[in-house]
Amino acid sequence: MRYLRAPAAFALALGLIASACGGGPGTTPTSPGATGAAVSSEPFVMLSTQLNTVTESEALRTQILSGFTAAKVEFRGETAGPFADRIVAESKTKGTVGVIGGLHGDFGALDLNLFEDLTPLATKLKDRGFPAEFMELGKLGTTRQIYIPWMQATYILGVNKQALQYLPSGVSVDNITYQQLTQWCKNISDQTGRKRCGLPAGPMSLLHRLIQGYMYPAYTGGLVTTYKSAEAATLWQDLKNLWQYTNPQSLQIDFMQESMLSGEVWVGFDHVARLVKAFEGKPNDFVAAPAPKGPKGLYYMSVLAGLGIPKSTPNKSGAEAFIDYMTTPAVQSKTLTTVAFFPVIGQTLPADLPAHLKIEADGVAKQAKHPDAKVALLPIGLGAKGGEFNKVQLDTFQRIVIKNEDIQKVLNEQAAILQTVMNDTKAPCWKPDPPSTGPCQVK
Protein backbone atom coordinates (compact mmCIF):
# COMPACT_ATOMS: atom_id res chain seq x y z
CA MET A 1 0.00 0.00 0.00
CA ARG A 2 1.37 3.36 -0.94
CA TYR A 3 0.58 6.61 0.73
CA LEU A 4 0.61 10.17 -0.40
CA ARG A 5 3.15 11.63 1.98
CA ALA A 6 1.98 14.66 3.86
CA PRO A 7 5.16 16.70 3.34
CA ALA A 8 4.97 16.18 -0.42
CA ALA A 9 1.35 17.24 -0.62
CA PHE A 10 2.14 20.11 1.66
CA ALA A 11 5.03 21.24 -0.53
CA LEU A 12 2.86 20.97 -3.62
CA ALA A 13 0.09 23.03 -2.10
CA LEU A 14 2.63 25.57 -0.91
CA GLY A 15 4.08 25.83 -4.40
CA LEU A 16 0.63 26.30 -5.86
CA ILE A 17 -0.26 29.07 -3.54
CA ALA A 18 3.05 30.90 -3.56
CA SER A 19 2.65 31.29 -7.27
CA ALA A 20 -1.07 31.97 -7.05
CA CYS A 21 -0.21 35.02 -5.02
CA GLY A 22 2.00 36.64 -7.60
CA GLY A 23 3.94 34.02 -9.52
CA GLY A 24 4.83 34.21 -13.19
CA PRO A 25 2.96 32.68 -16.09
CA GLY A 26 3.20 28.99 -16.89
CA THR A 27 5.80 27.30 -19.04
CA THR A 28 5.36 26.90 -22.75
CA PRO A 29 2.43 24.63 -23.57
CA THR A 30 3.08 21.50 -25.58
CA SER A 31 1.10 21.07 -28.73
CA PRO A 32 -1.40 18.24 -28.92
CA GLY A 33 -0.03 15.09 -30.47
CA ALA A 34 3.42 15.68 -29.08
CA THR A 35 3.66 12.07 -27.96
CA GLY A 36 5.47 11.15 -31.14
CA ALA A 37 3.46 8.73 -33.26
CA ALA A 38 0.96 9.94 -35.85
CA VAL A 39 -2.38 10.75 -34.22
CA SER A 40 -5.59 9.30 -35.62
CA SER A 41 -8.49 11.70 -36.03
CA GLU A 42 -11.13 9.05 -35.19
CA PRO A 43 -13.62 10.80 -32.86
CA PHE A 44 -14.09 9.43 -29.33
CA VAL A 45 -15.99 10.01 -26.12
CA MET A 46 -14.47 11.23 -22.86
CA LEU A 47 -16.45 9.57 -20.07
CA SER A 48 -16.04 11.18 -16.66
CA THR A 49 -17.45 11.07 -13.14
CA GLN A 50 -15.98 14.51 -12.61
CA LEU A 51 -17.33 17.81 -13.99
CA ASN A 52 -20.67 16.13 -14.64
CA THR A 53 -22.82 19.09 -13.65
CA VAL A 54 -24.27 21.09 -16.54
CA THR A 55 -22.20 24.21 -15.95
CA GLU A 56 -18.95 22.28 -15.45
CA SER A 57 -19.54 20.11 -18.53
CA GLU A 58 -20.34 23.17 -20.61
CA ALA A 59 -17.21 24.99 -19.41
CA LEU A 60 -15.07 21.96 -20.21
CA ARG A 61 -16.59 21.55 -23.67
CA THR A 62 -16.36 25.15 -24.74
CA GLN A 63 -13.16 26.26 -23.08
CA ILE A 64 -10.94 23.20 -22.78
CA LEU A 65 -11.98 20.51 -25.27
CA SER A 66 -12.26 23.09 -28.04
CA GLY A 67 -8.50 23.58 -27.86
CA PHE A 68 -7.79 19.93 -28.71
CA THR A 69 -7.85 19.66 -32.47
CA ALA A 70 -6.27 16.27 -33.23
CA ALA A 71 -9.60 14.41 -32.96
CA LYS A 72 -13.17 15.30 -32.08
CA VAL A 73 -13.79 14.57 -28.39
CA GLU A 74 -17.33 14.36 -27.05
CA PHE A 75 -17.61 14.85 -23.26
CA ARG A 76 -20.06 12.71 -21.28
CA GLY A 77 -20.42 13.28 -17.56
CA GLU A 78 -21.86 10.35 -15.59
CA THR A 79 -22.46 9.29 -12.02
CA ALA A 80 -20.35 6.41 -10.72
CA GLY A 81 -22.91 3.66 -11.42
CA PRO A 82 -23.63 4.20 -15.12
CA PHE A 83 -19.96 5.17 -15.57
CA ALA A 84 -18.76 1.76 -14.42
CA ASP A 85 -21.52 -0.04 -16.34
CA ARG A 86 -20.65 1.67 -19.60
CA ILE A 87 -16.95 0.89 -19.33
CA VAL A 88 -17.64 -2.76 -18.56
CA ALA A 89 -20.22 -2.99 -21.36
CA GLU A 90 -17.92 -1.36 -23.91
CA SER A 91 -15.10 -3.73 -22.98
CA LYS A 92 -17.20 -6.50 -24.53
CA THR A 93 -17.69 -4.77 -27.86
CA LYS A 94 -16.21 -2.08 -30.06
CA GLY A 95 -16.04 0.91 -27.75
CA THR A 96 -16.84 4.57 -28.26
CA VAL A 97 -15.20 5.77 -25.04
CA GLY A 98 -11.63 6.81 -25.76
CA VAL A 99 -10.63 8.41 -22.48
CA ILE A 100 -11.88 7.98 -18.93
CA GLY A 101 -11.77 10.71 -16.30
CA GLY A 102 -12.45 9.69 -12.72
CA LEU A 103 -11.37 9.85 -9.12
CA HIS A 104 -8.75 7.48 -7.80
CA GLY A 105 -11.58 5.44 -6.27
CA ASP A 106 -13.57 5.29 -9.54
CA PHE A 107 -10.65 3.50 -11.19
CA GLY A 108 -10.17 1.28 -8.16
CA ALA A 109 -13.82 0.16 -8.40
CA LEU A 110 -13.22 -1.40 -11.84
CA ASP A 111 -11.31 -4.42 -13.10
CA LEU A 112 -7.89 -2.88 -13.78
CA ASN A 113 -7.35 -5.22 -16.75
CA LEU A 114 -9.89 -3.11 -18.65
CA PHE A 115 -7.31 -0.34 -18.90
CA GLU A 116 -4.33 0.23 -21.16
CA ASP A 117 -0.94 0.39 -19.45
CA LEU A 118 0.05 4.05 -19.70
CA THR A 119 3.65 3.54 -18.58
CA PRO A 120 5.09 4.61 -21.98
CA LEU A 121 2.93 7.74 -21.93
CA ALA A 122 3.98 8.46 -18.34
CA THR A 123 7.62 8.21 -19.41
CA LYS A 124 7.00 10.70 -22.23
CA LEU A 125 5.26 13.11 -19.86
CA LYS A 126 7.77 12.83 -17.01
CA ASP A 127 9.00 16.40 -17.55
CA ARG A 128 5.55 17.73 -16.60
CA GLY A 129 6.52 17.40 -12.96
CA PHE A 130 3.78 15.16 -11.59
CA PRO A 131 4.53 14.44 -7.90
CA ALA A 132 5.91 10.90 -7.59
CA GLU A 133 3.20 10.09 -5.02
CA PHE A 134 0.47 10.92 -7.54
CA MET A 135 2.10 8.69 -10.17
CA GLU A 136 2.28 5.87 -7.61
CA LEU A 137 -1.40 6.32 -6.78
CA GLY A 138 -2.07 6.12 -10.54
CA LYS A 139 -0.69 2.57 -10.53
CA LEU A 140 -3.29 1.45 -7.97
CA GLY A 141 -0.84 -0.97 -6.40
CA THR A 142 0.09 -2.64 -9.72
CA THR A 143 3.21 -2.25 -11.85
CA ARG A 144 1.13 -0.68 -14.64
CA GLN A 145 0.24 3.01 -14.94
CA ILE A 146 -3.58 2.83 -14.88
CA TYR A 147 -4.18 6.57 -14.98
CA ILE A 148 -2.24 9.80 -15.43
CA PRO A 149 -3.03 12.43 -12.76
CA TRP A 150 -5.47 15.03 -14.09
CA MET A 151 -6.57 17.44 -11.36
CA GLN A 152 -6.93 17.64 -7.58
CA ALA A 153 -9.13 19.18 -4.94
CA THR A 154 -9.90 19.15 -1.24
CA TYR A 155 -12.58 20.22 1.25
CA ILE A 156 -12.48 23.51 3.17
CA LEU A 157 -14.76 25.87 5.12
CA GLY A 158 -16.52 28.62 3.22
CA VAL A 159 -17.31 31.53 5.55
CA ASN A 160 -19.59 34.51 5.06
CA LYS A 161 -17.81 37.53 6.57
CA GLN A 162 -20.95 38.36 8.58
CA ALA A 163 -20.33 35.21 10.62
CA LEU A 164 -16.86 36.28 11.78
CA GLN A 165 -18.21 38.60 14.50
CA TYR A 166 -19.79 35.61 16.26
CA LEU A 167 -16.54 33.62 16.58
CA PRO A 168 -15.92 32.54 20.18
CA SER A 169 -13.55 35.02 21.81
CA GLY A 170 -9.88 34.37 21.19
CA VAL A 171 -10.57 31.90 18.38
CA SER A 172 -9.20 32.45 14.87
CA VAL A 173 -11.20 31.21 11.91
CA ASP A 174 -7.99 29.78 10.49
CA ASN A 175 -7.31 27.62 13.54
CA ILE A 176 -10.53 26.23 14.95
CA THR A 177 -11.47 22.93 16.59
CA TYR A 178 -14.69 21.02 15.92
CA GLN A 179 -15.90 21.99 19.40
CA GLN A 180 -15.13 25.66 18.77
CA LEU A 181 -17.00 25.38 15.49
CA THR A 182 -20.01 24.14 17.44
CA GLN A 183 -19.71 27.07 19.85
CA TRP A 184 -19.45 29.44 16.88
CA CYS A 185 -22.57 27.96 15.27
CA LYS A 186 -24.38 28.17 18.62
CA ASN A 187 -23.43 31.86 18.91
CA ILE A 188 -24.75 32.53 15.40
CA SER A 189 -27.96 30.64 16.13
CA ASP A 190 -28.49 32.33 19.52
CA GLN A 191 -27.71 35.85 18.36
CA THR A 192 -29.31 35.91 14.92
CA GLY A 193 -32.16 33.50 15.64
CA ARG A 194 -31.25 31.38 12.61
CA LYS A 195 -29.16 28.24 12.25
CA ARG A 196 -26.67 29.30 9.65
CA CYS A 197 -24.02 26.60 9.72
CA GLY A 198 -24.24 24.01 6.97
CA LEU A 199 -23.10 20.43 6.48
CA PRO A 200 -23.68 18.93 3.05
CA ALA A 201 -25.90 15.96 3.93
CA GLY A 202 -28.19 15.75 0.89
CA PRO A 203 -28.65 12.57 -1.14
CA MET A 204 -25.90 13.52 -3.63
CA SER A 205 -23.63 15.19 -1.10
CA LEU A 206 -20.09 14.24 -0.10
CA LEU A 207 -20.83 13.96 3.63
CA HIS A 208 -19.19 10.52 3.79
CA ARG A 209 -15.89 12.06 2.72
CA LEU A 210 -16.05 14.61 5.55
CA ILE A 211 -16.60 11.78 8.00
CA GLN A 212 -13.91 9.53 6.47
CA GLY A 213 -11.15 12.01 5.72
CA TYR A 214 -11.70 14.77 8.26
CA MET A 215 -13.67 13.96 11.40
CA TYR A 216 -12.66 10.34 12.06
CA PRO A 217 -8.91 10.89 11.61
CA ALA A 218 -9.05 14.19 13.54
CA TYR A 219 -10.69 12.51 16.54
CA THR A 220 -9.36 8.95 16.42
CA GLY A 221 -6.20 9.09 14.28
CA GLY A 222 -7.73 6.38 12.08
CA LEU A 223 -10.92 5.32 10.33
CA VAL A 224 -11.48 1.57 10.06
CA THR A 225 -9.36 0.41 13.00
CA THR A 226 -10.88 3.02 15.33
CA TYR A 227 -14.46 2.87 14.04
CA LYS A 228 -16.09 1.97 17.38
CA SER A 229 -13.41 3.35 19.73
CA ALA A 230 -14.09 5.63 22.68
CA GLU A 231 -12.64 8.52 20.66
CA ALA A 232 -15.15 7.73 17.91
CA ALA A 233 -17.97 7.94 20.44
CA THR A 234 -16.69 11.41 21.41
CA LEU A 235 -16.63 12.39 17.74
CA TRP A 236 -20.26 11.40 17.22
CA GLN A 237 -21.34 13.14 20.42
CA ASP A 238 -19.60 16.32 19.22
CA LEU A 239 -21.17 15.96 15.78
CA LYS A 240 -24.59 15.61 17.42
CA ASN A 241 -23.92 18.81 19.33
CA LEU A 242 -22.88 20.59 16.13
CA TRP A 243 -25.98 19.31 14.36
CA GLN A 244 -28.21 21.10 16.88
CA TYR A 245 -26.98 24.41 15.50
CA THR A 246 -26.81 23.31 11.87
CA ASN A 247 -29.36 24.49 9.32
CA PRO A 248 -31.97 21.71 9.19
CA GLN A 249 -32.11 22.10 5.42
CA SER A 250 -28.63 20.54 5.37
CA LEU A 251 -30.33 17.22 4.66
CA GLN A 252 -31.23 18.57 1.21
CA ILE A 253 -27.90 20.30 0.59
CA ASP A 254 -25.74 18.59 -2.04
CA PHE A 255 -23.73 21.65 -3.08
CA MET A 256 -23.05 24.14 -0.30
CA GLN A 257 -22.53 27.07 -2.70
CA GLU A 258 -26.23 27.58 -3.45
CA SER A 259 -27.20 27.82 0.22
CA MET A 260 -24.27 30.14 0.86
CA LEU A 261 -25.21 32.45 -1.99
CA SER A 262 -28.83 32.64 -0.80
CA GLY A 263 -27.64 33.51 2.72
CA GLU A 264 -29.23 30.44 4.33
CA VAL A 265 -25.76 29.19 5.28
CA TRP A 266 -22.94 31.38 6.58
CA VAL A 267 -20.42 28.71 7.54
CA GLY A 268 -20.33 25.74 5.17
CA PHE A 269 -18.00 22.74 4.96
CA ASP A 270 -17.70 21.23 1.46
CA HIS A 271 -15.58 20.24 -1.54
CA VAL A 272 -13.88 23.31 -3.07
CA ALA A 273 -15.66 22.76 -6.39
CA ARG A 274 -18.98 22.82 -4.51
CA LEU A 275 -18.15 26.11 -2.75
CA VAL A 276 -16.58 28.06 -5.56
CA LYS A 277 -19.80 29.43 -7.08
CA ALA A 278 -20.46 31.24 -3.80
CA PHE A 279 -17.02 32.85 -3.92
CA GLU A 280 -17.59 33.70 -7.58
CA GLY A 281 -21.07 35.14 -7.08
CA LYS A 282 -20.14 37.36 -4.13
CA PRO A 283 -16.34 37.51 -3.88
CA ASN A 284 -16.47 40.35 -1.36
CA ASP A 285 -18.75 38.48 1.04
CA PHE A 286 -16.74 35.31 1.61
CA VAL A 287 -13.47 34.03 2.96
CA ALA A 288 -12.23 30.44 2.91
CA ALA A 289 -10.75 28.76 5.96
CA PRO A 290 -9.08 25.44 6.74
CA ALA A 291 -11.16 22.50 7.92
CA PRO A 292 -11.53 22.28 11.71
CA LYS A 293 -9.11 20.19 13.74
CA GLY A 294 -9.64 17.55 16.38
CA PRO A 295 -7.62 16.01 19.23
CA LYS A 296 -5.36 14.17 16.74
CA GLY A 297 -4.75 17.12 14.43
CA LEU A 298 -6.15 18.75 11.31
CA TYR A 299 -6.70 15.91 8.90
CA TYR A 300 -7.74 16.72 5.36
CA MET A 301 -8.44 14.65 2.30
CA SER A 302 -6.57 15.17 -0.93
CA VAL A 303 -8.87 14.26 -3.79
CA LEU A 304 -7.03 13.10 -6.92
CA ALA A 305 -8.66 12.64 -10.33
CA GLY A 306 -6.91 10.90 -13.22
CA LEU A 307 -7.24 10.14 -16.93
CA GLY A 308 -7.08 6.56 -18.20
CA ILE A 309 -7.59 4.76 -21.51
CA PRO A 310 -9.86 1.71 -21.75
CA LYS A 311 -8.59 -1.17 -23.88
CA SER A 312 -11.78 -0.78 -25.96
CA THR A 313 -10.79 2.75 -27.00
CA PRO A 314 -11.58 3.52 -30.65
CA ASN A 315 -8.54 5.79 -30.94
CA LYS A 316 -5.56 5.01 -28.72
CA SER A 317 -3.14 7.48 -30.30
CA GLY A 318 -5.78 10.22 -30.11
CA ALA A 319 -6.50 9.37 -26.46
CA GLU A 320 -2.82 9.56 -25.58
CA ALA A 321 -2.49 12.90 -27.37
CA PHE A 322 -5.56 14.06 -25.45
CA ILE A 323 -4.07 13.15 -22.05
CA ASP A 324 -0.90 14.90 -23.12
CA TYR A 325 -2.97 17.99 -23.97
CA MET A 326 -4.98 17.91 -20.72
CA THR A 327 -1.81 17.87 -18.60
CA THR A 328 -0.03 20.74 -20.35
CA PRO A 329 0.60 23.72 -18.03
CA ALA A 330 -1.70 25.95 -20.10
CA VAL A 331 -4.64 23.53 -19.93
CA GLN A 332 -4.01 22.79 -16.24
CA SER A 333 -4.27 26.54 -15.51
CA LYS A 334 -7.37 26.74 -17.67
CA THR A 335 -8.89 23.84 -15.72
CA LEU A 336 -8.39 25.79 -12.50
CA THR A 337 -9.92 28.98 -13.85
CA THR A 338 -12.90 27.30 -15.52
CA VAL A 339 -13.88 24.51 -13.11
CA ALA A 340 -11.88 25.30 -9.94
CA PHE A 341 -9.96 22.03 -9.72
CA PHE A 342 -6.26 22.48 -8.96
CA PRO A 343 -3.38 21.43 -11.25
CA VAL A 344 -1.49 18.22 -10.58
CA ILE A 345 1.77 19.28 -12.17
CA GLY A 346 4.54 21.24 -10.49
CA GLN A 347 3.75 24.49 -12.22
CA THR A 348 3.10 28.06 -11.34
CA LEU A 349 -0.47 29.34 -11.33
CA PRO A 350 -1.58 32.26 -13.48
CA ALA A 351 -0.77 35.59 -11.83
CA ASP A 352 -4.12 37.04 -12.82
CA LEU A 353 -6.15 34.51 -10.83
CA PRO A 354 -9.78 35.71 -10.54
CA ALA A 355 -10.96 36.82 -7.08
CA HIS A 356 -13.04 33.73 -6.34
CA LEU A 357 -10.17 31.38 -7.13
CA LYS A 358 -7.85 33.46 -5.00
CA ILE A 359 -10.25 33.00 -2.05
CA GLU A 360 -10.29 29.26 -2.70
CA ALA A 361 -6.51 29.03 -3.16
CA ASP A 362 -5.97 30.97 0.08
CA GLY A 363 -8.16 28.54 2.00
CA VAL A 364 -6.38 25.52 0.53
CA ALA A 365 -2.98 27.05 1.32
CA LYS A 366 -3.91 27.84 4.93
CA GLN A 367 -5.11 24.29 5.35
CA ALA A 368 -1.92 22.75 3.94
CA LYS A 369 0.30 25.14 5.93
CA HIS A 370 -1.52 24.56 9.21
CA PRO A 371 1.00 23.24 11.78
CA ASP A 372 -1.30 20.30 12.68
CA ALA A 373 -2.17 19.42 9.08
CA LYS A 374 -2.01 15.77 8.01
CA VAL A 375 -3.26 14.10 4.83
CA ALA A 376 -5.89 11.36 4.80
CA LEU A 377 -6.52 9.36 1.65
CA LEU A 378 -9.65 8.33 -0.15
CA PRO A 379 -10.48 4.68 0.60
CA ILE A 380 -8.20 2.33 -1.37
CA GLY A 381 -8.69 -1.25 -2.50
CA LEU A 382 -12.44 -1.49 -1.93
CA GLY A 383 -13.29 -2.00 -5.61
CA ALA A 384 -17.03 -2.12 -6.25
CA LYS A 385 -17.68 -2.20 -2.48
CA GLY A 386 -16.70 1.48 -2.16
CA GLY A 387 -20.38 2.42 -2.14
CA GLU A 388 -21.25 0.02 0.67
CA PHE A 389 -18.26 1.33 2.63
CA ASN A 390 -19.61 4.89 2.29
CA LYS A 391 -23.06 3.68 3.32
CA VAL A 392 -21.64 2.51 6.66
CA GLN A 393 -20.67 6.08 7.56
CA LEU A 394 -23.87 7.57 6.14
CA ASP A 395 -26.03 5.07 8.04
CA THR A 396 -24.07 5.73 11.23
CA PHE A 397 -24.78 9.45 10.72
CA GLN A 398 -28.49 8.83 10.11
CA ARG A 399 -28.88 6.62 13.15
CA ILE A 400 -26.85 8.62 15.66
CA VAL A 401 -27.35 12.21 14.57
CA ILE A 402 -30.78 12.21 12.95
CA LYS A 403 -32.55 9.37 14.76
CA ASN A 404 -30.87 9.84 18.14
CA GLU A 405 -30.00 6.18 18.61
CA ASP A 406 -27.50 5.10 21.28
CA ILE A 407 -24.00 5.98 20.04
CA GLN A 408 -22.04 2.93 21.20
CA LYS A 409 -24.75 0.48 20.12
CA VAL A 410 -24.84 1.98 16.61
CA LEU A 411 -21.04 2.03 16.39
CA ASN A 412 -20.82 -1.64 17.38
CA GLU A 413 -23.45 -2.65 14.82
CA GLN A 414 -22.08 -0.53 11.99
CA ALA A 415 -18.52 -1.64 12.78
CA ALA A 416 -19.64 -5.24 12.20
CA ILE A 417 -20.99 -4.27 8.75
CA LEU A 418 -17.77 -2.35 8.07
CA GLN A 419 -15.72 -5.43 8.95
CA THR A 420 -17.78 -7.52 6.51
CA VAL A 421 -17.00 -5.03 3.73
CA MET A 422 -13.29 -5.14 4.60
CA ASN A 423 -13.27 -8.94 4.72
CA ASP A 424 -15.16 -9.21 1.41
CA THR A 425 -12.67 -6.93 -0.34
CA LYS A 426 -9.59 -8.10 1.63
CA ALA A 427 -8.48 -4.43 1.54
CA PRO A 428 -5.53 -3.66 3.84
CA CYS A 429 -5.62 -0.48 5.94
CA TRP A 430 -4.77 2.84 4.31
CA LYS A 431 -3.51 6.04 5.85
CA PRO A 432 -4.12 7.25 8.55
CA ASP A 433 -4.87 3.72 9.82
CA PRO A 434 -1.60 1.85 10.51
CA PRO A 435 -0.59 -0.61 7.72
CA SER A 436 -1.99 -4.12 8.06
CA THR A 437 -1.26 -7.53 6.65
CA GLY A 438 -4.54 -8.91 5.35
CA PRO A 439 -7.90 -7.12 5.55
CA CYS A 440 -8.02 -4.02 7.74
CA GLN A 441 -9.52 -4.96 11.11
CA VAL A 442 -11.85 -2.88 13.29
CA LYS A 443 -10.47 -2.95 16.82
Partner 1 sequence: MAVRAGRALPFPARIARSEAALPLGLLAPTIIFLTLLILIPVAQAILLSFQMVPGTLGLEAYRRMIADVAFVDSLKNTLLLLVLVVPVQLVLALAMALLIHSRFPGHGAFLYIFALPLAISDLAAGIVWLSIFADTGYLNSALNGLGLTTDPINFLSYENLHLVLGTVIVAESWRATAIVLVILLAGLQLIPREYFEAADLFGASRVKRTLLIVLPMLRPSLQSALIIRTIFAFQTFAVVLALAGRQLPVLSYEAYDWYYNNRNEFIAAAFAALILLMTMTVVFFYLRVLRVKDAEIQR
Positions touching partner 1 (CB under 8 A) are: 79-82, 84, 109, 193-194, 201-203, 247-249, 251-252, 262-264, 384-388, 390-391, 394-395, 398-399, 402
Nearest-angstrom CA–CA distance, 46 and 313: 10
CA of 319: how far to CAs of 8, 31, 47, 334, 350, in Å? Answer: 29, 14, 12, 19, 27
Instruction: Identify which of residues 38 and 204 has a Cβ nearer to partner 1 in the complex.
Output: 204
Nearest-angstrom CA–CA distance, 303 and 358: 19
Q: What is the CA radius of gyration of the chain?
A: 21
Instruction: Identify which of residues 206 and 218 has a Cβ nearer to partner 1 in the complex.
Output: 206
Task: Report, in Å, the least distance between residue 164 CB and partner 1.
Answer: 22
Counts for the chain of helices (H) and strands (E), in that order: 17, 11
Task: Report, in Å, the least distance between residue 50 CB and partner 1.
Answer: 16
Nearest-angstrom CA–CA distance, 360 and 375: 18
Residue 85 CA, distance from chain mean position = 22
Task: Report, in Å, the least distance between residue 255 CB and partner 1.
Answer: 12
Q: How crowded is residue 74: how many other Cβ atoms within 10 Å of its Cβ?
A: 14
In 3-state terms the chain splits into helix, strand, coil percentages (rounded to 5) of 45, 15, 40
Residue 330 CA, distance from chain mean position = 22
Concatenated DSSP letters of 65-79: GGG--SS-EEEEE--
First to last CA, the chain: 20
Nearest-angstrom CA–CA distance, 312 and 306: 18
Task: Report, in Å, the least distance between residue 389 CB and partner 1.
Answer: 9
> 75: closest CA among 274, 311, 326, 312?
326
Task: Report, in Å, the least distance between residue 257 CB and partner 1.
Answer: 14
> Are 365 and 16 a contacting pair, CB within 8 Å?
yes
Nearest-angstrom CA–CA distance, 96 and 72: 12
Instruction: Identify which of residues 139 and 385 has a Cβ nearer to partner 1 in the complex.
Output: 385
Q: Which helix H or strand E contains 288, and what residues bound it?
A: strand 286-289
Task: Report, in Å, the least distance between residue 123 CB and partner 1.
Answer: 34
Instruction: Identify which of residues 137 and 207 has a Cβ nearer to partner 1 in the complex.
Output: 207
Instruction: Identify which of residues 81 and 438 has a Cβ nearer to partner 1 in the complex.
Output: 81
Task: Report, in Å, the least distance between residue 209 CB and partner 1.
Answer: 13
Q: Are strands 286-289 and 155-160 parallel, antiparallel or unpaired?
A: antiparallel
Instruction: Identify which of residues 277 and 431 has a Cβ nearer to partner 1 in the complex.
Output: 277
Nearest-angstrom CA–CA distance, 91 and 97: 10
Instruction: Identify which of residues 83 and 299 has a Cβ nearer to partner 1 in the complex.
Output: 83
> 117: closest CA among 92, 147, 137, 87?
147
Instruction: Identify which of residues 19 and 419 has a Cβ nearer to partner 1 in the complex.
Output: 419
Task: Report, in Å, the least distance between residue 322 CB and partner 1.
Answer: 27
Instruction: Give the E-state strand segments of 5-111 in sequence order.
Output: 44-48, 73-77, 97-103
Q: Provide the greatest CA pair distance for the chain.
A: 67
Q: Is the peptide bond before 310 cis (omega within 30 degrees of 0)?
A: no
Instruction: Identify which of residues 194 and 443 has a Cβ nearer to partner 1 in the complex.
Output: 194
Task: Report, in Å, the least distance between residue 284 CB and partner 1.
Answer: 20
Task: Report, in Å, the least distance between residue 163 CB and partner 1.
Answer: 17
Task: Report, in Å, the least distance between residue 273 CB and partner 1.
Answer: 19
Instruction: Identify which of residues 171 and 251 has a Cβ nearer to partner 1 in the complex.
Output: 251
Task: Report, in Å, the least distance between residue 274 CB and partner 1.
Answer: 15
Instruction: Identify which of residues 16 and 415 has a Cβ nearer to partner 1 in the complex.
Output: 415
Instruction: Identify which of residues 215 and 265 has a Cβ nearer to partner 1 in the complex.
Output: 265
